[in-house]
């Protein structure tokens, strides 16, 4: 075949990623009970598996090494190598797309590789690109796949390439995929899938602009945004996400956004105070949301019970400073409510109650 002049690519570590291994620790399977050997039917360590999982497929070895010349030679000798798969059903095109070897992606596509090929977990090369490709290479790699008719909406369940691009904060790639995808899709009937991905991106390692994905997708999902979505913004993105959404004025706030915010002020504040510690944000961010709720018309005393149970001294001091009345509860009742939260926290709350009681009786 008359190949284009594409140079060899920089090698990538052989186990830079592993789709099956994503989200699992080094000792157990996905449910915490089955061993790695049972799950993958592989006798050996996880490191050994990661190193050899594609070593039996020469064209994939060449892709992993970034050896464009060898990839060309293999295809010239055996075009059927394009359909060869590794232990997880990945073709050479999957591997090249995941590693960001855009030049080799072009060679494979010109050689006749199937851009719609599926792995054992039903991932296409474009999905692999969105899920695993280094950010600096994802746009060029995806453009090459799309130029060869890759389907941008083939999904892993509900999750399209755009979902993964947003979640990983690969904004140029997300911008490329956005026109091809219906971002109004919801999960569970009332949660915006792409809003959740955009909010998750702020927590993704290396996200330099935690609101970039939200700003990108928000104009498209604004007409279908629901109350629950706005509350998810508070919980997932804090005060900056709340400000971004409120400034956009979703239709659900019509005809009077100020009145809508006043009615929802308590719920907005409660969303900033989740029971789960895993969803907690920095105290300054929590206080920022509570400040906004106060400006919408929130009575801080309505939050006393929830803030006391939240167990953050800075947040509780903020509430007291804004006029929240701990003394709306009898001291004994408040002490009972705090009894299960530890002696130190109970003592701190009661000290504030005593100080407030003294100030009120003067």
- 19-23, 103-107, 216-220, 286-290: which has the minimum mean pLDDT? 19-23
Q: Which is more confident, 209 or 253?
A: 253
Q: How confident is the model at residue 163 (pLDDT cuts 50, 70, 90)?
A: very high
Among residues of the chain, what percentage have pLDDT more than 90?
61
pLDDT digits (tens, 9 = 90+) for 231-260: 989 988 899 999 999 999 999 999 999 999
Q: Count other C-beta atoms under 10 Å from residue 175's C-beta.
A: 15
Q: pLDDT grade, residue 29 (50/70/90)? A: very low
Over 70: is that where the pLDDT of 27 sits?
Answer: no
The Cα 155–Cα 146 span in angstroms is 15
Confidence of residue 145 (pLDDT cuts 50, 70, 90): very high
Tell me the pLDDT band of 65, cut-offs 50, 70 and 90.
confident
CA distance 124 to 152: 10
Which has more pLDDT, 191 or 111?
111
pLDDT given at position 11:
46
- Determine the Cα–Cα distance for residues 134 and 247; give it in Å rounded to an integer: 33
pLDDT at 24 over 80: no
- State the chain's mean pLDDT as an integer: 86
pLDDT band at 177 (very low <50, low <70, confident <90, very high): very high
The answer to whether the bond into 255 is cis (omega within 30° of 0) is yes
Tell me what the mean pLDDT of segment 164-190 comes to. Answer: 86
Q: Which of 195, 200, 161, 158 is nearest to 180 (CA)?
A: 161
Q: Does domain 1-151 have CATH number 1.25.40.20?
A: yes
Domain with CATH 1.25.40.20 in the chain: 1-151
Reported as a single tens digit per residue, the pLDDT across 93-115 is 999 999 899 999 999 999 999 99
User: Is 349 within 8 Å of 320 (Cβ atoms)?
Assistant: no
For the stretch 261-309, pLDDT in tens is 999 999 999 999 998 887 788 999 999 999 999 999 999 999 999 999 9
Q: What is the DSSP letter of 8?
A: P
């Amino acid at each position: 075949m008359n190949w284009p002049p594409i140079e060899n690519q920089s090698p990538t570590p052989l186990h830079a990623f592993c789709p099956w291994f994503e989200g699992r620790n080094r000792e157990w399977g996905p449910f915490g009970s089955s061993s790695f050997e049972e799950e993958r039917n592989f006798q050996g360590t996880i490191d050994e598996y990661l190193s050899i999982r594609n070593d039996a497929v020469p064209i994939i070895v060449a892709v992993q090494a970034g050896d464009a010349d060898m990839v060309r030679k293999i295809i010239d000798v055996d075009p059927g190598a394009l359909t060869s798969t590794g232990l997880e059903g990945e073709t050479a095109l999957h591997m090249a797309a995941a590693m960001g070897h855009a030049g080799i992606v072009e060679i494979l596509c010109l050689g006749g590789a199937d851009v719609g090929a599926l792995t054992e977990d039903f991932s296409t090369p474009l999905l692999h690109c969105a899920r695993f490709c280094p950010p600096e290479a994802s746009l060029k790699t995806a453009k090459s796949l799309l130029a060869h008719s890759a389907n941008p909406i083939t999904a892993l369940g509900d999750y399209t390439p755009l979902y993964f691009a947003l979640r990983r904060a690969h904004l140029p790639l997300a911008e490329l995929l956005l026109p091809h995808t219906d971002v109004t899709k919801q999960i569970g009937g009332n949660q915006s899938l792409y809003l959740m991905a955009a909010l998750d991106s702020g927590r993704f390692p290396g996200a330099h602009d935690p609101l970039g994905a939200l700003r990108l997708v928000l104009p498209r999902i604004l007409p279908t945004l629901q109350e629950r979505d706005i509350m998810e913004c508070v919980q997932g993105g804090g005060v900056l996400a709340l400000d971004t959404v409120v400034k956009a004025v979703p239709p659900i706030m019509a005809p009077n956004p100020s009145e809508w915010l006043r009615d929802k002020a308590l719920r907005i504040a409660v969303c900033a105070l989740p029971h789960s510690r895993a969803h907690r944000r920095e105290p300054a961010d929590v206080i920022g949301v509570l400040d906004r709720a106060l400006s919408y018309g929130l009575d801080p005393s309505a939050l006393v019970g929830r803030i006391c149970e939240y167990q953050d001294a800075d947040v509780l001091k903020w509430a007291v400073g804004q006029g929240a009345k701990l003394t709306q509860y009898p001291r004994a009742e408040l002490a009972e409510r705090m009894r299960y939260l530890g002696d130190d926290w109970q003592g701190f709350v009661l000290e504030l109650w005593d100080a407030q009681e003294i100030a009120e009786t003067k």
